């Protein structure tokens, strides 16, 4: 009986330490001396700037039907349906029929739109242009619902991005989430590591998601032994005690 009590006490201690609590998986927690959550500085939002190997799509609007058909004005006719996209070359330009190479590297979508409009108006006086980035996606890998997802709005943040995946698993290590962010011109990508639980992540350099970002969510080392909730913990304790009692009773019966 003494051995049984010691075993039961040890089992309860191990499982209690393995439960997923709000401290472990909760978001937007206030940093305190007790939880040791980091405090990140707020930084201004920077719009995405077009890089080499990005793909650009455009829509030309003009009353000149002949030029409209020749240049393909329906490149952005509907969401997800594009006739053509134009790759940004190593020199930072895109090649569009009837135009000289247009430099777009380093420009925002709005700046690229103004630049392309000015180029078209050299041959079509009433031209108006709408420009968008074609490869507006981010990827998620690791202990989450991995996949590639479309950035549907400006200033998409990390919580909105993970919500599109169905959130990360309880077993995910929220203390060391990483964003792998490519740099332009063949430079080594930037790796941003942060604690997803702290509320100071809002408006920090880790908050917003950009095209081509890869979000990596690692698994915690003790996740194999963890239970998803206290309800699961109670059920596990009950089943474990029942199994142990059955085994002890059987052993006692054999040695009568």
The confidence score (pLDDT) of residue 18 equals 52
The residue among 84, 113, 107 whose CA lies nearest residue 97 is 84
Per-residue pLDDT of the chain (256 residues; tens, 9 = 90+): 555 555 544 544 444 445 557 788 899 999 998 889 999 999 999 999 999 999 999 988 888 887 777 766 554 444 344 457 899 999 999 999 889 999 999 999 999 999 999 999 999 999 999 999 999 999 999 999 899 999 999 999 999 999 999 989 989 999 999 999 999 877 899 999 999 999 999 999 999 999 999 999 999 876 444 544 455 545 555 655 565 566 566 556 566 6
The confidence score (pLDDT) of residue 185 equals 76
178 and 202 together in one domain: yes
70 and 8 together in one domain: no
Asked if the structure places residue 157 within a domain, the reply is yes
164 and 148 together in one domain: yes
Torsion sign, CA atoms 20, 25, 26, 30: positive
Domain range for 148: 22-47+136-217
209 and 184 together in one domain: yes
Asked if the structure places residue 180 within a domain, the reply is yes
Residue 104 belongs to a domain with what CATH number? Answer: 3.30.1950.10
Distance CA 107, CA 114 (A): 10
The residue among 179, 104, 114 whose CA lies nearest residue 134 is 104
* The total number of structural domains that make up the chain: 3
Asked if the structure places residue 222 within a domain, the reply is no
Contact between residue 90 and residue 32 where contact means Cβ atoms under 8 Å apart: no
183 and 79 together in one domain: no
Asked if the structure places residue 14 within a domain, the reply is yes
Buried b (16+ CB within 10 A) or exposed e, 141-160: ebbbeeeebebeeeebbbee
Strand 137-142 to 214-217 pairing: parallel
pTM over 0.85: no
26 and 140 together in one domain: yes
């Amino acid at each position: 009986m003494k051995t049984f009590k010691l075993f039961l006490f040890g089992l309860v201690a191990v499982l209690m330490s393995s439960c997923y609590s709000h401290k472990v998986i909760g978001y937007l927690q206030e940093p305190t001396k007790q939880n040791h959550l980091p405090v990140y500085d707020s930084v201004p939002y920077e719009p995405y700037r077009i890089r080499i190997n990005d793909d650009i799509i455009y829509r030309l609007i003009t009353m000149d039907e002949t030029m409209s058909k020749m240049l393909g004005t329906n490149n952005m006719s509907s969401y997800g349906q594009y006739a053509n996209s134009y790759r940004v070359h190593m020199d930072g330009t895109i090649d569009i029929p009837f135009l000289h190479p247009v430099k777009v590297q380093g420009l925002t979508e709005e700046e690229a739109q103004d630049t392309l409009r000015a180029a078209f108006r050299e041959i079509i006086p009433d031209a108006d242009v709408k420009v968008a980035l074609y490869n507006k996606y981010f990827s998620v890998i690791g202990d989450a619902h991995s996949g590639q997802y479309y950035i549907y709005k400006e200033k998409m943040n990390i919580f909105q991005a993970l919500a599109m995946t169905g959130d990360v698993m309880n077993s995910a290590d929220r203390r060391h989430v990483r964003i792998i962010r490519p740099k332009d011109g063949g430079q080594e990508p930037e790796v941003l590591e942060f604690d997803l639980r702290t509320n100071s992540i809002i408006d920090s350099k880790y908050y917003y998601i950009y095209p081509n970002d890869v979000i990596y969510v690692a698994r915690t080392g003790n996740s194999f032994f963890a239970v998803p909730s206290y309800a699961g913990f109670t059920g596990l304790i009950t089943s474990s005690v029942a199994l142990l009692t059955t085994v002890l009773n059987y052993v006692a019966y054999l040695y009568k």
